[in-house]
Structure 1
Amino acid sequence: MRGQTKIGAKAIVAAIIAALATLAPLGALAMGAGGSKPKPAVRAVPSDEVVPPVPSPTPPVAPPPAPGEIATTIPFLDTPAAPPPDLEFPTPTPLPDQVSWATYVNPRFGLRLDYPKGLFLPAPPPENGDGQAFSALDGAARFSVWGSYNVLGETAQTLMAGFAATLTPGNIISSQLTGTGGFQTIALRADKRVFRTEIAGGDVVFGFEAEVDDPDDAALADLFETIMDSLRGPEASTQTAPPAPAQPASLFDILVATAKGALEPVLGQSVALDVTTLRRAGAWAYLGGVPTQPDGAPLDWLATPFAPDWQADAMSDVVMVLMAEENSAWRVVDSVIGPTDVAWYGWVAQYGLPETLFYEP
């Protein structure tokens, strides 16, 4: 065609060979000869040619900010970034004294004990029904209450002496007989503070024991002395339960109600929560439990939107709820229904939370 130059096949092949020749050093650099360590291509330099040195790149240095200003210069990419400062989270502690008091009544022996239900969760009762164990939300304290038949004819004096024999000499802080036919002892055992009281009530012995991990925790010490004083038999005694606080609801009740408010619309029905874990760290709280019907009966999952997964055995009956406090009010930040793995583990990185919020190491 007019205005165009015809290029023959030989010229094209020659051009391709020339181009490949220029790439040969790159191939040698990338792969090496015969699998050996690659060697960089070297250009022969005439003896009379002076090759100027190649300066190394110098990272830009920003001037220091003036007083009162915030430096906004982005560090040079080749400069190692300083490690982030260590984040400190408050150790999960028991909920504050905004608690509701409840009375534990043993159906087998009739003994009774007053305790703050907002601070302690009950463990599954034993099969023989002789008592109940409780643990603090943060795991820092625990107590048990029980009854037993007085087959040995124990008295307050023999009960007190029997417990003292289990302690290391010199570790008893106080020990005294009470006017209710029992004794109260406070002592140190394995670096923990122990509170023990037993009452010889005729044919039955009632007992209570609490253990605090921090022997210097004065608040828990005062609390357990109050709980210990409330142990009594089936008949009313002259002792009175601690007065109920003025708050309409405990923080325990508030967190449970907050979690229910987020779960019920998803489940499509009213539920109660059998709480197995409730922990708090600063402005964060975590609740784990099993939803039930309001009367405590097992939840009918087939009557929920999760029926297909329940039928396929592809879910659990557990719920996990993450809550945060903002402006003195609690709200649900995240939740999972029916997880089959440790769903909260992703929240640790996502929200920058300590693992101790979710479990006791």
Structure 2
Amino acid sequence: MSATFPQAAPRALQAEDDGYQELLDAATAPLHEVLGDRVVVEVERLDCLGRWAFLMGNMRTPGGERPDFRGTRFAEHAAAGSMSDLYVALLRRDPEGGAGEGAEPATDAADGGVPVDCLELPGEWVLLDHAIGPGDVAWLDWPARHAAPRAVFGF
């Protein structure tokens, strides 16, 4: 059995990484359910740490403008100026076979127990929480609420 240990620092994911688009699609699914394809996320950061991932980005129209929330459930807040352009999401890679809440990421014995890259872990990305246009730091309590490592949020 190989040793497991937490990854020391989050890994900043890049658009050209295999698995990046799958993770981004899972992270932005609630946004697209509400606003369709009239809003895209301009990624500021998409980081992973072990089996955890955190997305922070700005909502934009496909043309790069601020989104128009008229006709949505956000219209009143947007008109009052109490809505930011931010979109944030927390995800966890759940292993196939449901290893459970306390499961640690897989390691590669050939690499001396180094954790396998988050994009290479088995399973699927599960969205745990998200915030559309938060007026404050909505993700501040997510580490405690979801037992997620604070480092993935940059805390």
Q: TM-score, normalised by structure 1?
A: 0.32
Q: Name 1:94's counterpart in structure 2.
A: 11
Please report the RMSD computed on the Cα atoms of aligned residues, expressed in angstroms: 2.2
The 3 A distance-change label for structure 1 pair 285 and 333 is: same
Partner amino acid, structure 2, of 1:94:
R
In structure 2, the residue matched to 1:354 is 149
Q: How far apart, CA to CA, are the structure 1 residues paired with 2:28 and 2:89?
A: 9
Shift of 1:309: 0.4
* Equivalence for 2:124: 329
Query: Hey, what's the Cα distance between the residues in 2 that align with 1:265 and 1:117?
Result: 22
Q: What is the rounded CA distance, in whole Å, between the counterparts of 2:59 and 2:28 in structure 1?
A: 9
1:273 to 2:68 alignment: no
CA distance in 2, matches of 1:345, 1:89: 21
CA 93–354 in structure 1, closer or farther in 2 if over 3 Å, else same: closer
Deviation (angstroms), 1:325: 0.9
1:296 and 2:91 equivalent?
no
Indicate if the aligned counterparts of 1:325 and 1:331 stay in contact, CA closer than 8 A: yes
* 2:139 alignment partner, one of 330, 335, 344: 344
Equivalence for 1:258: 26
User: Matches of 2:46 and 2:30 in 1, distance apart?
Assistant: 16
Larger RCO: 1 or 2 (CA < 8 Å, sep 6+):
2
Kindly provide the CA deviation profile for residues 22-80 of structure 1, in whole angstroms up to 9, marking residues without a partner as x. xxxxxxxxxxxxxxxxxxxxxxxxxxxxxxxxxxxxxxxxxxxxxxxxxxxxxxxxxxx
2:100 aligned with 1:305 = no
Distance 2:20 2:71 in 1: 28
CA–CA distance in structure 2, aligned partners of residues 254 and 285 of structure 1: 12
Q: Secondary structure at the match of 2:92?
A: strand
1-structure distance, mates of 2:57, 2:71: 19
Q: Is the 8 A contact 1:323 1:332 kept in 2?
A: yes
Distance 1:349 1:93, change over 3 A: closer
1:298, 1:340 → 2: CA distance?
16
**Paired amino acid for 1:334:** D
SS of residue matched to 2:83: coil
4+ long deviations beyond 6 Å: none
2:108 counterpart residue number: none
Q: What are the Cα deviations for residues 192-235 of structure 1, in whole angstroms up to 9, with x where unaligned? A: xxxxxxxxxxxxxxxxxxxxxxxxxxxxxxxxxxxxxxxxxxxx
After superposition, residues 1-361 of structure 1 pair within 5 angstroms as: 89-94=6-11, 117-118=15-16, 250-267=18-35, 269-270=36-37, 271-326=39-94, 327=96, 328-359=123-154
Question: Alignment length, in residue pairs?
Answer: 123
Opposite residue 32 of structure 2, the aligned amino acid is: E
Alpha-carbon separation, structure 2, partners of 1:340 and 1:307: 14
What displacement does 1:354 show? Answer: 2.1
Residue type of the alignment partner of 1:293:
T
Please report how far the alpha carbon of residue 117 of structure 1 lies from its aligned counterpart in structure 2 after TM superposition: 3.8
Paired letter, 1:306 = F
**Which structure 2 residue ranges, 5 or more long, are not aligned?**
97-122
Conserved 8 A contact 2:15-2:21: no
Per the TM alignment, residue 95 of structure 1 is displaced from its structure 2 partner at its CA by 6.3
SS in 1 for 2:93: strand
The 1:336/1:290 distance shift into structure 2, 3 A limit, reads same
State the SS of the aligned residue for 2:70. helix
